[in-house]
Chains A and B, each alone.
Chain A
Amino acid sequence: MRRFVVGRTKSLVNRYQRSRVLSSTPLLLDSPSSMAAPPSSSHPSPPVTLETINPKVLKCEYAVRGVIVTLAERLQHELQANPGSHPFDEILYCNIGNPQSLCQQPITFFREVLALCDHPAILDRSETQGLFSADAIERAWQILDQIPGRATGAYSHSQGIKGLRDTIAAGIEARDDFPADPNDIFLTDGASPAVHMMMQLLIRSEQDGILCPIPQYPLYSASIALHGGTLVPYYLDEATGWGLEISELKEQLEAAKSKGITVRALVVINPGNPTGQVLSEDNQREIVEFCKKEGLVLLADEVYQENVYVPDKKFHSFKKISRSMGYGGDDISLVSFQSVSKGYYGECGKRGGYMEVTGFSADIREQIYKVASVNLCSNISGQILASLVMNPPKVGDESYESYAAEKDGILSSLAKRAKTLEEAFNHLEGVTCNKAEGAMYLFPRIHLPQKAIKAAEATNTAPDAFYAHRLLHATGIVVVPGSGFGQVLGTWHFRCTILPQEDKIPAIVSRLMDFHKGFMDEFRD
Chain B
Amino acid sequence: MSPKGLDYETLNENVKKVQYAVRGELYLRASELQKEGKKIIFTNVGNPHALGQKPLTFPRQVVALCQAPFLLDDPNVGLIFPADAIARAKHYLTLTTGGLGAYSDSRGLPGVRKEVAEFIERRDGYPSDPELIFLTDGASKGVMQILNTIIRGERDGILVPVPQYPLYSATISLFGGSLVPYYLEETANWGLDVNNLRQSVAQARSRGITVRAMVIINPGNPTGQCLSEANLKEILRFCYHENLVLLGDEVYQQNIYQDERPFLSARKVMLDMGPPISRELQLVSFHTVSKGYWGECGQRGGYFEMTNIPPQTVDEIYKVASISLSPNVPGQIFLGLMVNPPKPGDISYLKFVTESKGILESLRRRAQIMTDGFNSCRNVVCNFTEGAMYSFPQIRLPPKAMEAARRAGKVPDVFYCLKLLEATGISTVPGSGFGQKEGVFHLRTTILPAEEDMPAIMASFKKFNDEFMEQYEDHRGYSRM
Chain A residues engaging chain B, CB cutoff 8 angstroms: 11-12, 15-16, 18, 20-25, 27-28, 32, 34-41, 43-50, 52-55, 57-58, 60-62, 64-66, 96, 98-104, 106, 108, 111-112, 114-116, 118-119, 121-122, 125, 127-128, 130-131, 148-149, 151-156, 158, 189-190, 192-193, 196, 200-204, 218-219, 222-223, 226, 264-265, 291-293, 295-297, 330-333, 341, 346-351, 359-361, 363-364, 367, 370-371, 373-382
Contacts and interface: CB of A to CB of B under 8 A. Distances in A.
B131 interface: yes
Q: Which 9 A-B pairs have the closest CB atoms?
A: A295-B3, A349-B329, A119-B64, A297-B5, A380-B298, A101-B102, A154-B50, A115-B68, A351-B328
B103 A379 contact: no
A204 B13 contact: yes
Contacts of B322: 62, 64-66
A350 B100 contact: yes
A222 B299 contact: no
A348 B325 contact: yes
Given A350-B328, A373-B23, A15 B315 contact: yes
Nearest to A156: B298
Contact of B2 (A16, A44, A295, A373): A295
A222 B128 CA distance: 31
A103 B329 CA distance: 16
B11 A189 contact: no
Contacts of B88: none
Contacts of B141: 375
Interface in B192-220: 198, 201-202, 205, 210-213
A23 B312 contact: no
A363 B9 CA distance: 10
Contacts of A52: 152, 212
Interface in B282-297: 282, 290, 295-297
A208 B282 CA distance: 35
A190 to B, nearest CB: 7
Contact of B210 (A12, A45, A55, A379): A45
Contacts of B300: 189, 351, 377-379
B71 A373 contact: no
Given A54-B148, A152-B298, A200-B12, 6 more contacts: A111-B67, A115-B68, A297-B6, A349-B104, A367-B15, A370-B20
Contact of B101 (A100, A158, A364): A100
Given A20-B129, A295-B2, A363-B8, A226 B320 contact: yes
A390 B16 CA distance: 33
A278 to B, nearest CB: 24
B462 to A, nearest CB: 27
Contact of A381 (B4, B174, B299): B299
Interface in B97-156: 97-104, 106, 127-129, 131-132, 137-138, 140-141, 144, 148-152
B171 interface: yes
A21 B131 CA distance: 9
A44 B242 contact: yes
Contacts of B101: 99-100, 106, 346-350
Nearest to B97: A101
A154 B243 contact: no
B11 A201 contact: yes
Contacts of A125: 80
B33 interface: no
A25 B375 CA distance: 51
B210 A374 contact: no
Interface in B50-74: 50, 52, 55, 57, 60-61, 63-65, 67-71, 74
B12 A204 contact: yes
Given A101-B97, A101-B98, A102-B98, A350 B320 contact: no
At the interface, is chain A mostly helix, strand, loop or mixed?
A: loop
Nearest to A54: B152
B2 A293 contact: yes
Contacts of B137: 189, 351, 378-379
A364 B243 CA distance: 40
Contacts of A292: 2
A350 B332 CA distance: 10
B170 interface: yes
B244 to A, nearest CB: 6
A147 to B, nearest CB: 9
A348 B99 CA distance: 10
A430 B272 CA distance: 63
Contact of B149 (A53, A98, A153, A371): A53
Given A297-B5, A379-B298, A121 B57 contact: yes
Contacts of A116: 64
Nearest to B177: A54
A23 B311 contact: yes
B7 A219 contact: no
Contacts of A332: 2
Nearest to B1: A330
Nearest to B68: A115
Contact of A15 (B60, B212, B312): B312
A295 B106 CA distance: 37
Contacts of A264: 5-6, 10
B205 A41 contact: yes
Contact of A151 (B152, B213, B298): B298
A469 B85 CA distance: 43
A158 B308 contact: no
Nearest to A351: B328
B324 A24 contact: no
Given A115-B64, A330-B1, A379-B328, A25 B280 contact: yes
Interface centre among A40, A154, A226, A361 (most CB of B within 10 A): A154
Q: Which of B55, B68, B326: most chain A CB closer than 10 A? A: B68
A364 to B, nearest CB: 6
A43 B242 CA distance: 9
Contact of A100 (B11, B61, B79, B98): B98
B49 A111 contact: no
B129 A22 contact: yes
Nearest to A13: B312
A50 B316 contact: yes
A32 to B, nearest CB: 5
Contact of A127 (B12, B76, B296): B76
Contact of A153 (B132, B297, B315): B297
B45 interface: yes
A153 B242 contact: no
A15 B22 CA distance: 41
B98 A380 contact: no
Nearest to B279: A25
B439 interface: no
12 contacts: A22-B307, A40-B241, A45-B244, A57-B317, A99-B102, A130-B79, A153-B297, A154-B49, A202-B12, A204-B11, A364-B6, A375-B138
B240 A35 contact: yes
B175 to A, nearest CB: 8
Contacts of A364: 6-8, 11
B167 interface: yes
B18 interface: yes
B354 interface: no
B103 A367 contact: no
A32 B276 CA distance: 12
B435 to A, nearest CB: 16
B99 A376 contact: no
B303 to A, nearest CB: 15
A147 B57 CA distance: 19
A57 B320 contact: yes
A20 B14 CA distance: 37
Contacts of A349: 96, 98-104, 326, 328-330
Contacts of A380: 298-299
Given A45-B212, A156-B298, A295 B4 contact: yes
A189 B328 CA distance: 8
B152 A50 contact: no
Contacts of A371: 15, 18, 174
B310 interface: yes
